Each structure stands twice: as structure tokens, then as C-alpha cells.
Chain A
Amino acid sequence: MAQAQVAAKQSSIGFGKAERKLLTDPLDSNNPVTVQVLGICSALAVTTGMKNALVMAIAVVFVTMFSNIITSALRNSIPKAVRMIVQLIIIATLVTIVELTLKAVAFDSYKQLSVFIGLIITNCIVMGRLEAFAMANGPYRSMLDGIGNGIGYGIILIMVAFVRELFGKGELFGAKLIGATDDYLLNTQSFELFDIHWLSWYANNNLMVLFPSAMFVIGAIIWAHRAWNPSLVDVS
């Protein structure tokens, strides 16, 4: 395969076309969430707000990037039998580091994300990229691949969180944008900018705040993605 041949010349730390492809592929044609179907679990509970989604995305980029680098650097010295356990230990360590850091610098997010930070370990993207790429490529290219996939995942998370937070609570990053009266029955509070109540007829769509809505939104994103890029349509 062409990529394997390119991988043979891996020691060059350039930023040519091949490297750029590593970063941009996961954003579109090889998106980890919508195409490779990885990393869905955490995409649901953390997308209730933009802030949490952003924190999660950064955490995943960090973990994917560093686990790719470390595994790639060690790839020739890991015996085949314990391969999986070693990979898991690398990932688990990085995630524990992320968890401890988050608890120290962003305590509110830590409280809200709770269990799901630990679940980054089982986020199939991290493991999937280790197996599919880092075990066969050099550290520099693995790092790019890790960043690319992490960002591809992050973009989907942010898209879903955007829809869910805006239409579910009328807020973005906690700042009220649309919605009406000080009426807790409709779960809305007022927002004024330049003395105008923006879209004050809008009542929060509570469905968006519940978990299943994330599934619908991702399904819709996949639909849109495949309609826009017909090469991805499932012909089975």
C-alpha cells in the first residue's frame, strides 16, 4: 500500500503532503466518529454543554497524541503476547494524569465529567489508532495521526454539543443566547442584548438535554456527512 511505502521513509520530519493528509483525513473522509465508528460512548454524556465538550476534546487529543508517540517509540521492543496490556497501561497512565490535572485546574468540569474521564481509556479511538497506525509507523507521523484523529473527534463533539446546548438550554458556554421569560415552568430565563429579547418565543427543547438526543444528532450528522461525500455511503 502506498502509505506503507511512505512509512518506510519515516525518519524525515517534514510537513509535506503526506503529513498534511494525516492531519486532514480524520476531519473528513476518515473521521473517527462518523466513519470509523469509534469513540461514541463518551460523545453522549459530555456533550450537554460546550465547555465540557471542549475539555473532553482537549483531553482526548492529549491522550491520543501522547499514547501514539510513546507506543510508536516503543513499538519494536514490545513482545507480541503482552502487546495489548502494555498499550492499555500506557493509555491508562495518560488518562490518570489527565484526571489528576483536571481535578487541580478545572474542578467544576471534573465534577461534571466524573466517570467519563476514566472512560477515555476505553475510547476506541485511542486504542484503534495505536493498533492501526502507531504500531507500524514512526513517532513523528504517529503524533500527527494522533492529533488529527483527536481533532476529528473533537469537531464532532463540539458540533453535537453546540446543537444540544443551544436548542436544549438556549445557551452557549453557559451564556444565555435565545429564549424567553423568567419562567421556570418552561425552563428558560431571559436574555437581552441592545434591549431586545432575542427569539423570546423560543422555549427550551428539553429533549436535547436528555441523553438519546445525542444519538439523533450524531445520526443526523452522519446523514449530512454522507450526503455531502457520497463515497462514504454504505452499500452493504
Chain B
Amino acid sequence: MGELLNIFIKSAFIENLALSYFLGMCSYLAVSKTVKTAFGLGLAVIFVLGITMPINWVINNFLLSETGIFSTDLTFLRLILFIAVIASMVQLVEMVVEKFSPSLYNSLGIFLPLITVNCAILGGSLFMVSKEYNFMESVSFGLGGGFGWFLAIIAIAAIREKIKYSQVPPALRGLGMAFMLTGLMGLAFMSLMGIDPAAF
């Protein structure tokens, strides 16, 4: 249990998918204009990551690897299968959100289906493969990673809402500023490097 909590904290703060590896930047920068949309997108990302990670783990270890049911190394199909799983899960989330919260569905608009191509989702799964986690660890990694991404996008949305009232040079306004801010936040998060949650 302690190890799982360890991985959750690591992937949420110390190896934050958005601010340490800069994954999922496209939606991160595009949706973070208001905290409300950022909140909705963040929740959706946590959900998608938490679901796709275990499914991808099962696929990777039971179908594609040499010890799986086909007994041959099918790892070249990994990318295709992962992205197919992600696309289907996002479709599912879309239907659920449309049913339970039509206002959120409308405000997210095109960005909900765009979670499919959010680098953070596929990137998270590929990191899971590279770190060779077991099943429970990958669930923890998925939820932690999603939570970290959620915190990151809320943070930058909050900052961007406030910075609209500052005197930013015209050419830097909007997108350029968002990049600079993200860079600064990334630098700040580097201070967390090396913390081993197990020590606490």
C-alpha cells in the first residue's frame, strides 16, 4: 500500500506529466483560459488516465509480450492498440458527460474528443511500459498522473485569468505569455526533483 501511495505522489508532483515532462501541452494551453473549463477537462483527464492505464497494462502484458497468450513478441502493435483503447474510452467518457452534465459538455466543446490525442494519455501509457510497473502500480500511476495534470492545468488557468489584467507587451499577450508561465512553473516543479516519498 505504501509503495502505491509512493507512486501516486511521485507521478502527481515529482514527475508531473504536465510540468516535468510537458506532455498534453496542446489542450493544456488551449483550454486554460478560464478555471471552469480547465476544471472540467482536468477531471476528464484523470478519469481517462485512470481507466486506460490498467487496460493498456493488460494488453501489453497479456497480448503483446512473449509471455502472453500468443507467445510471440507482438510489441510492434503496441502503439496501434493503445491508441485504439484510448479512443474508445474517450468516446465512452464523452457519452457519459453528455448525459450527466450537458452544460459541461457544451463548454468543453471540441476539447473532449481531443483528449484522445492528448500526449499525456498515450505518454502515460508508454511511460508505464518503460518503467515496467505491475497492475496495481499502473493504476496508481494513472490516477496520480491524471491528478497532477489536473492540478497543473487549474494552476495555469488561475494565473492566466489574473494576468489578463496585467500590462503584457502586445506581441507577448495570450499565447506567448502562457508559454513563459508554463516554463516558470516547470522550473518551480524541478525543485521537487529527488524527493523520495518513501522517506516520509
Contacts and interface: CB of A to CB of B under 8 A. Distances in A.
Interface stretch (A51-59, A135-143, A221-229): A221-229
Contacts of B123: 41, 115, 119, 122
Interface string A118-152: 11011110010000000000000000000000000
A219 B183 contact: yes
Interface string B107-124: 000000110111101110
A74 interface: no
Interface string A25-52: 0000000001001111110110000000
Contacts of B183: 212-216, 219
Interface in A193-236: 210-216, 218-220, 222-224, 226-227, 230, 233-234, 236
Name, among A39, A40, A213, the residue most crowded by chain B CB atoms within 10 Å (CB to CB). Answer: A40
A84 interface: yes
B22 interface: yes
Given A93-B80, A219-B177, A40 B26 contact: yes
A215 B182 contact: yes
A70 interface: no
A118 B184 CA distance: 27
B165 interface: no
Given A40-B25, A213-B183, A88 B177 contact: no
Interface in B25-76: 25-26, 29-30, 76
Tier of interface size on chain B = 35 or more
A12 interface: no
B87 A211 contact: no
Q: How large is the interface on A (under 10, 10 to 19, 20 to 34, 35 or more residues)?
A: 35 or more
Given A212-B183, A216-B183, A233-B171, A124 B26 contact: yes
Contacts of A224: 171
Contacts of B182: 212, 215
Interface of B: 20-26, 29-30, 76-77, 79-80, 83-84, 87-88, 113-114, 116-119, 121-123, 126-127, 130, 169-180, 182-184, 186-187, 190
Given A124-B26, A219-B178, A230-B171, 20 more contacts: A37-B26, A40-B25, A41-B24, A41-B119, A88-B84, A88-B116, A96-B76, A100-B76, A115-B127, A119-B119, A119-B122, A122-B83, A122-B119, A210-B190, A212-B183, A212-B187, A215-B22, A219-B179, A220-B176, A226-B176
